Amino acid sequence: MSRSDPEASLQDEAARAGWMYYVGGKTQDQIATELGVSRQRAQRLVSRAMTDGLVHVRLEHKIAACLVLEAELTRRFGLCEVRVAPSLGDGGDPTRAIAGVGAGLMEKYLRRTEPLIMALGTGRALRACADEMLPITAEQHRIVSLIGNIAPDGSASFYDVIIRISDRVRAPHFPMPVPVISDTAAERAMFQRLRPAQIVFDLAKAADVTFVGVGQMGDDAPLLLDGFVSAPDLAEMQALGATGEIAGWVFDAQGKYIETCLSDRLGSARLEPNRPAPVIGIAAGLRKVRALKAALEGHIINGLVTDEATAQALLI
């Protein structure tokens, strides 16, 4: 006990404080007294338990208004799987709202008894879902990434959701061993010919269920913010009618893929329209409405996890 890892023991203390606060319903004063620390420290521990993701909160009630929206979306776009999370209102982060709901849906698939292949794209919302998942053992399934996991500097890509999910889900997982974006078309071709990459591509194509983020292509496009394209490149794409993007593959307002300067260097698998298996888009926020609508109408995705406000906007 005398020389344990200070970081770990801090987490321990935070977990204990968070436990007493959230589960036990004690005040921070009481916790401070019982743990023998100052009230301020207790406050920091409780807050750390939350920010470190030690505490998970889920709501057990389907709000009627959300159920109505789910039914509407299913009918309107012919979807196979829809979840609408209640909006968090004006200041709320919509990603936050859908994370728990999306995590629950992913868990639902992972709890299936028959083995299945789950493919994962990228995006902040998808990452948030991964972080909200409860630990689960699902050895019978295989989890495969749609996007390359080699970042420009050679390290494992920060954007690869599969890395995050592998902490919580005990299942065989298959990162895509190619660069997110290659420098040249030739380099991509070289990587894609490699046998390991082929295996992962084939798995992705055969996925029984796919979860992807959906990016908008406005001036706040995730592709731009994350440095995958330059502002002039983005402007060029916009001129070509770029409306949305899934795993880096850009499509127009009808959900038809368009050729861009990325097309021949992108390491990710492209989701072809009208896949028979569920392809579930996870995205929320009014800025994403156009992109989502295009992906839905182009049948690139046939499932949706979003929030109330976005759902409403999609149905206008």
Least spacing, CB of residue 2 vs DNA, in Å: 14
**Among positions 17, 18, 20, 28, the unique one binding DNA when judged by CB under 7 A:** 28
Smallest distance, Å, CB 286 to DNA? 26
Per CB under 7 A, 29 contacts DNA = yes
One residue of 9, 12, 24, 38 binding DNA per CB under 7 A? 38
Residue 113's binding partner out of its own copies, DNA, none, with CB under 5 to 8 Å set by partner kind: its own copies
90 binds, among its own copies, DNA, none (CB under 5 to 8 A by kind): its own copies
Task: Between 68 and 156, name the residue whose CB sits nearer to its own copies.
Answer: 68
**Choice between 57 and 316, CB closer to DNA:** 57
Residue 57 binds which entry of DNA, its own copies, none, with Cβ cut-offs from 5 to 8 Å by kind? Answer: its own copies
- Let me know if 13 is exposed, middle or buried by CB neighbors in 10 A (0-12, 13-18, 19+): middle
The CB-of-17 to DNA minimum distance in angstroms stands at: 10
Q: How far apart are CA 97 and CA 284, in angstroms?
A: 9
Report phi then psi at 202, rounded to 5.
-65, -40
Site for DNA in 261-280 (CB under 7 A): none
Q: Is 11 in the site for its own copies (CB under 8 A)?
A: yes
Residue 88 lies near its own copies (rule: CB under 8 A): yes
C-alpha distances in Å from residue 249, one per residue of 38, 100, 154, 191, 266: 53, 26, 22, 18, 8
- Under the criterion CB under 8 A, does residue 49 sit at the interface with its own copies? yes
Closest by CA to 281, choosing from 247, 315, 253, 252, is: 247
Size of site (CB under 8 A) for its own copies? 50
**Residues in CB range of 38: below 8 A, 6 or more apart:** 32
Strand partners, 173: 143
Name the β-bridge partners of 251: 244, 257
One of 3, 7, 36, 64 touching its own copies (CB under 8 A): 64
Rounded to whole angstroms, how far apart are CA atoms 266 and 120? 16
DSSP 170-206: ES-EEEEEEESB-SSHHHHHHHHHSHHHHHHHHHHHT
The sign one gets for the Cα dihedral 263, 266, 269, 274 is negative
Q: How many CB atoms lie within 10 A of CB 227?
A: 9
| Residue among 55 and 258 whose Cβ is closer to its own copies | 55
The 221-250 site mask, x for binding its own copies (CB under 8 A), equals ------------------------------
Q: Which of residues 211-230 bind DNA (CB under 7 A)?
A: none
Those residues with Cβ within 8 angstroms of residue 26's Cβ, 6 or more apart along the chain or in another chain:
20, 34
Subset of 124-143 contacting its own copies (CB under 8 A): 134-137, 140
Tokens of 9: 């023991």
The residues that touch its own copies, with contacts defined as CB under 8 A, are: 4, 8-9, 11-12, 14-16, 18-20, 22-26, 30-31, 34, 49, 53-65, 86, 88-93, 96-97, 100, 111, 113, 134-137, 140
The residues that touch DNA, with contacts defined as CB under 7 A, are: 21, 27-29, 37-41, 43-44, 46-47
